[in-house]
Amino acid sequence: MDNLLEAAQRAVKAAMDAGAEFADAYCSQVREVSVGVENTSLRECEVVRDYGIGVRAFFQGGMGLASAQSLEYDDAVECGQRAAELSRAADADPDFVGLPEPAEPPEVGELFDDALAGLAVTEVVEWCRQGIEESRAIEPEVRLEGGADLAVGGSALASSTGIALQRRGTSVNINFYALLTRDEDVGTYFEYDAARQLADFVPGGVAAKATEEARRYLGGRNVATKRLPIVLGPLAASGLLFSVIGDANAEHVQRNRSFLGGKEGQRIASELLTITECPLVAGGLSSMAYDGEGVPKVRRELIEDGVLTTYLHNSYTANKAGVANTAHASRGGYRGSVGIGTANLQVALGSRTEAELISELDEGLYVTYGGIQPEGASGDISATVDFGFKIENGQFAYPVSTTMIGSDALEMLGNIDAVSSDYREEPGIIVPSLRIVGIQVAGGE
Amino acid sequence: MERLMERIIQAALDQGADFADLRITDAAATAISVEDGRADRISSARTRGAGLRVLVDGAWGFAPTNQPDEAEMLRCVGDAIEMARSAAPYVTDPGMVAEIEPAHGEVGKPPRIRPDSVSLQDRVRRVFELERAARSSAAEKIANTTASYADGSGEMFLANSFGTFLRYEGTGTSIGVQVVATDGETRQRAVQRRANRTGYELVADLDIEALGKETAEKAVNLLTAERAPAGTFDVIIDQRICGLLVHEAFGHNSEADAVWIGDSILAGKLGEKVAAETITIVDDATLPGLNGSFEYDHEGVPAQRHVIVENGILKEYLHSLETAARFGVKPGGSARAQGHQDQPIVRMSNTAIEPGETSLEDMMAEMDEGLYLTGGYWGYVFTGQGQFTCNVEHAYAIEKGKLGTHYRNVCISGLTLETLQKVTAVGNDQEFELGGTCGKGGQGMPVDAGGPHLRISQVVVGGQSGG
């Protein structure tokens, strides 16, 4: 770990020595073991050791970004110098004020697990082998693909304002996609589990769930075109909600390319909807003590009783708007620039179960999964229900096929008439189901 | 380099590999972003490394490194062998490779204008010109303009245990512009992009003013477009959506790795009718000057022209060394890898529906009502179900053979085989319109796609009004 911070600091110094007015550098290294399953058989194992450095340098606000897949002294220095040179070629940006000052980040526990870090490849292989076995026990003719990944790594962040931070982490995930064929009919489904700690990880049952669910999607049919109440299951709900939260990106708003422009402090959703960012949950999948620029993270409501409480800021957008930095800077690894993103999101629960919400519908559409995400500028939604069911007389009638939803983000959020009390949970992340009334469904006649 | 790579391959064979290949890459890329009149972000990335793949007792092992020196690559040999041996006891569908003649030589020609031969300032200026052209068109309605540019160039060496040693040289350039127009609460976005495996000539030869102006006009026109209708419609799709359809809905199903595992609606259908008789689909990496063109794939197999569907009949799949061995056919030259940290997988190149004989005017004149769908940025497919989704940038009502109401962007969905059987007319105006990047298995790969106008009956349109 020490060499990561040293490399970052060397690069920052090199950038400043080359004429930058501000600079920061991010270094990371990861060892990732992946086991692949294909055609209901183990197929491959790979081990990837990836490491590198990314440097941002600023000159009169113009930004230069340079990266390299190395942590060697000379490469770190060259990277810093290259970033500084690029910053001088960029146009001045009077909205750039500076990089954040150092601040003590909070403690976030259980993001690194010695048990995971020391796990043998054979254990990862065994999870996959068991997945194949449990899937075949349910459907001997199943076609199963997927696999498991185990990652152990660390990162360091240094800046010309004196930030010097480092962290390490572990993560593990398993995912399976099951495919069943009956004559010309096909049923498919996927399932996954992910964790930062071995104790939170439950690989057993993931392949079985994918296989059992694939059975339910045999015999898909088209739905008639009409307005219907729809129920978004947790996966579909997270797709919609997390995408809308992403559109609260202050840079998109400031650049006039978000449909949430002018909506800060206003109601954008039913008062039943509250979404809280919980970055400090021990062992959370997206937990973090500080953001991509080293600013301490805090728990905060992003949508409270339907009101968009804040835009998501990094240091640049906060300074430009003259508001407090909300610590939402994100980094896409050492090769990426600094953008805006969130940590774990948790959606407040309602009082009745998903089954109760469905039982109240004479006719409706249940969306297990689909690309229900608004177009960022217009907020328009036009999406296929990739996995879903027609609801008739309060229960699932049949799986749907070539069925679409046409709406916009504010209509969908505003028409939420119930949030379920049961939910899907990944470490740190909680998403219930949503019932939304009066949504245009497109299908057949 | 050849001797070094031979030593690494030999070490893998000595440790028990039945097959091994090694790719060493060294590449540099530059990106420029100009937004709202300022070139405020310029970046440069250097990637370098090696990826070693082995086949041991039917299991694949893979170990890349960012440090392609001999000691590190020998460590990768040990890692890859160990990885493969960890999986081998549980492999019930053993991996295999088709034998090929070893290939030697240099692959790829230098571009007409090397991007790094143009000063950074000149490249920035050109991107700025594009952004300004967009911004100054209908300026009162334009809320945001972003122009972006990227170039990348580098070399790759490939060696394998058949004795292949190839040196690839490659360059890619892209430029695009995004415009957001507003009118009160309404915001609409239009995007256009050009990409090719060429040098800076792509940008130097481009009519920057026209691209910027056209994109701005598209965004502004969308402001007054109505919400699209929902339901099932007879449609005419343009060349770009035809490209999306043939690539996303059909092409991914023809990749033999998906076929082998049953995750394709084309599995078991060779020789069967899978589309209307008027449909012929070709994937051709040898076409000159397109974004998906190449000379050799990343397993050392020469690029080829594949007639996947001929007059509606499925003729062949796209193959890697592994899938060719599984299906007992000749390797197809369709395996490519994004970088040294990725394994080669089956990819399309330039995929298109061949032109027919009907003009757009005749196609349209025969329709009493329906939709004309044009433009589109993206699509996806679940190959096992054969259900696809394609984005459409603009839609227009067709009323008695004429274009009518203008609708906003929307998506269409369908089942691939049903949709291709419902093609009622094939245009005579094939174009490749989709030079871009295809994502599969976490890897991005340059491809192109296209076709002529198509008329298709009963396509589901996911609009917001009508039910």
Rounded to the nearest angstrom, the minimum Cα separation between B248 and chain A is 14
- Do A145 and A259 fall within a single domain? no
- Do A310 and A262 fall within a single domain? yes
Task: Look at residue B163 and tell me if it is in a domain.
Answer: yes
User: A–B: how many Cβ contacts below 8 A?
Assistant: 271
Of B207, B223, B239, at which residue does a domain stop? B223
The pLDDT score that the predictor gives to residue A1 is 46
- Do A236 and A170 fall within a single domain? no
B19 to each of B55, B59, B71, B330, how far by Cα in Å? 5, 11, 21, 17
Which helix (DSSP H) or strand (DSSP E) does residue A16 occupy? Answer: helix A2-17
A414 to each of A159, A292, A316, A439, how far by Cα in Å? 42, 32, 31, 11
- Do A117 and A19 fall within a single domain? yes
- Do B262 and B377 fall within a single domain? yes
Q: What is the pLDDT of residues A72-100, one digit of tens each?
A: 999 999 999 999 999 999 999 999 999 99
> Do A53 and B4 meet the contact criterion of CB atoms below 8 Å apart?
no
Task: Look at residue B467 and tell me if it is in a domain.
Answer: no
The band of A332, judged by pLDDT with boundaries at 50, 70 and 90, is: confident
Q: Between A44, A64, A90, which is nearest B59 by CB?
A: A44
Taking 70 as the pLDDT cut, the residues of chain B under it are 467
> Do A128 and A147 meet the contact criterion of CB atoms below 8 Å apart?
yes
- Do A287 and A174 fall within a single domain? no
- Cross-chain Cβ contact B187/A257 below 8 Å: yes
Of A189, A216, A243, at which residue does a domain stop? A216
Of B199, B223, B247, at which residue does a domain stop? B223
- Cross-chain Cβ contact B59/A128 below 8 Å: no
Partner residues linked to B318 by β-bridges: B255
Q: How far apart are CA B381 and CA B258, in angstroms?
A: 12
Structure tokens at A274: 């509250």
Of A162, A193, A216, at which residue does a domain stop? A216
The ipTM (two decimal places) reads 0.93
- Do A349 and A303 fall within a single domain? yes
The pLDDT score that the predictor gives to residue B467 is 53
Q: How far apart are CA A84 and CA B71, in angstroms?
A: 33
Indicate the burial class of A141 (C-beta count within 10 angstroms; 0-12, 13-18, 19 or more): exposed
> Do B49 and A69 meet the contact criterion of CB atoms below 8 Å apart?
yes
Beta-carbon contacts of B125 under 8 Å, excluding residues fewer than 6 positions away, are none
Taking alpha carbons only, the member of A347, A369, A359, A341 closest to residue A303 is: A347
Rounded to the nearest angstrom, the minimum Cα separation between B385 and chain A is 6
Beta-carbon contacts of B11 under 8 Å, excluding residues fewer than 6 positions away, are B74, B77
- Quote the domain boundaries for residue B69: 2-223
Q: What is the pLDDT of residues B189-242, one digit of tens each?
A: 999 999 999 999 999 999 999 999 999 999 999 999 999 999 999 999 999 999
Write the DSSP assignment of B304-367 as a string of letters: -EEEEEETTEE---B--HHHHHHHTS---S-EE-SSTTS--EE---EEEEPP-SB-HHHHHHT-
Domain count, chain B: 2
- Do B196 and B174 fall within a single domain? yes
Q: Between A48, A66, A181, which is nearest B341 by CB?
A: A48
Q: What is the pLDDT of residues A263-317, one digit of tens each?
A: 999 999 999 999 999 999 999 999 999 999 999 999 999 999 999 999 999 999 9
Q: Does B234 touch chain A (CB under 8 A)?
A: no
- Do B215 and B241 fall within a single domain? no
- Cross-chain Cβ contact B87/A42 below 8 Å: yes
Which CATH number characterizes residue A51's domain? Answer: 3.30.2290.10
Indicate the burial class of A411 (C-beta count within 10 angstroms; 0-12, 13-18, 19 or more): middle
Name every chain A residue with its beta carbon within 8 A of the beta carbon of B230. Answer: 225, 404, 406, 440-442
What's the start-to-end Cα distance of chain A, in Å? Answer: 62
- Do A333 and A435 fall within a single domain? yes
The pLDDT score that the predictor gives to residue B466 is 77
Q: How far apart are CA B281 and CA A190, in angstroms?
A: 31
- Quote the domain boundaries for residue A39: 2-216
